[in-house]
Amino acid sequence: MNTHTGYHSVIQRLNAAATPTPKLVTVSKQQSWDKITPVLDAGHRIFGENRVQEAVERWGDKRDQYPDLQLHLIGPLQTNKTDDAVQFFDVIETLDRPKLAHALAKAMDKTGKWPDVYIQVNTGAEAQKSGVSPADLPDLLDLAHDLNLPIIGLMCIPPVDEPAAPHFVLLRNLAHQYALPHVSMGMSNDFELATKLGATSVRVGSAVFGERG
Ligand SMILES: *Cc1c(COP(=O)(O)O)cnc(C)c1O
């Protein structure tokens, strides 16, 4: 697939799915520059990466060339990487535990950078490792509030072997319940469904760039 075509077709499908269209985070992890450059050339600036170190290596020297880049961390974050993550990313989508909330707050104080933060919710309960359970979400939100973390919304990755719709509905309802404006959900296979169910941000990799690796 031609990358340029992939990008434009995803944009068209998003436009057709709902108004207003969600923010499109194109997931560039493990993709080559041959594939990423046409998307940058088309004017797109919002990219997702799942590892701190890789993202810094890949995108570190692109910031000068593209000052309006917005980079989202969409993968799990270890507490010993929070300084780098806070320095580098514009948005961190994967806060999922109290220890990480404390580490992020410390890193933000230290670096003076305050990226927007999503809390990742494990809507699939036991099926999946990352994310706070819906039952533990209120306490994590209270803690994040006490620490003055800039929480803007909720994010989820539904289990691959289940229909995604109930997970999307649950996440949207939780965001409404806690008055959080943003909902990050939907990937290549289900971003239109997620959009119809209230996503304000979708994370799309292979449908834009082709298969990874
Ligand atoms: C890799 C990844 C995506 C993109 O996956 P595709 O199926 O290629 O669209 C989205 N979200 C997260 C958290 C990911 O790790």
- DSSP calls for 110-165: HH----EEEEEB-TTGGG-SSSB-TTTHHHHHHHHHHTT--EEEEE----TTS-SH
Rounded to whole angstroms, how far apart are CA atoms 86 and 95? 12
3-state SS, residue 2: coil
Q: Which residues have any ligand 1 atom within 6 Å of their CB? A: 27, 29, 50, 74-75, 157, 187-188, 203-207
* For ligand 1, atom 6: residue with the closest CA: 205
Tell how strand 70-73 and strand 23-27 pair up: unpaired
User: Cα separation of 193 and 201, whole Å?
Assistant: 12
Question: Separation of 27 CA from ligand 1 center, angstroms?
Answer: 6
- Each residue's pLDDT, cut to its tens digit, for the chain (213 residues) gives 566 689 999 999 999 999 999 999 999 999 999 999 999 999 999 999 999 999 999 999 999 999 999 999 999 999 999 999 999 999 999 999 999 999 999 999 999 999 999 999 999 876 557 899 999 999 999 999 999 999 999 999 999 889 999 999 999 999 999 999 999 999 999 999 999 999 999 999 999 999 998
Atom 12 in ligand 1: residue holding the nearest Cα: 74
63: tokens are 């910031």
Q: Which atom of ligand 1 is nearest to the CA of 29?
A: 1
Q: What's the pLDDT score for residue 86? A: 98
CA of 203 to the centre of ligand 1 (A): 6
Q: Which atom of ligand 1 is nearest to the CA of 204?
A: 9
Say what the pLDDT of residue 127 is.
58
The 10 Å Cβ neighbour count of residue 79 is 15
Q: What pLDDT does 3 receive?
A: 63
Q: Which residues contact 42 (CB under 8 A, 6 or more apart)?
A: 4, 7, 8
Spatial separation of the C-alpha atoms in residues 113 and 150, rounded to whole Å: 11
The residue count of the chain comes to 213
Cα 74 to ligand 1 centre (Å): 8
Can you give the pLDDT at residue 1?
52
Q: CA 107 to CA 103: how far, in whole Å?
A: 6
Closest protein CA for atom 11 of ligand 1 = 203
Mutate to test the pocket of ligand 1, among 1, 29, 74, 195 (most ligand atoms within 8 A of CB): 74
Contact of 207 with 188, CB cutoff 8 Å:
yes
Closest atom, ligand 1, to C-alpha of 74: 13
CA separation for the pair 155, 65 (Å, rounded): 30
Closest ligand 1 atom to Cα of 25: 10
Q: CA-CA distance, 151 to 176, in Å (whole number)? A: 14
If one residue of 27, 30, 96, 185 were mutated to test the ligand 1 pocket, choosing by the most ligand atoms within 8 A of its CB, it would be: 27
Query: Dihedral of CA 198/37/89/164: which sign?
Result: positive
Burial of residue 2, with CB atoms counted within 10 A of its CB: 0-12 exposed, 13-18 middle, 19 or more buried: exposed
pLDDT recorded at residue 125: 72
Q: What is the pTM of this model?
A: 0.96
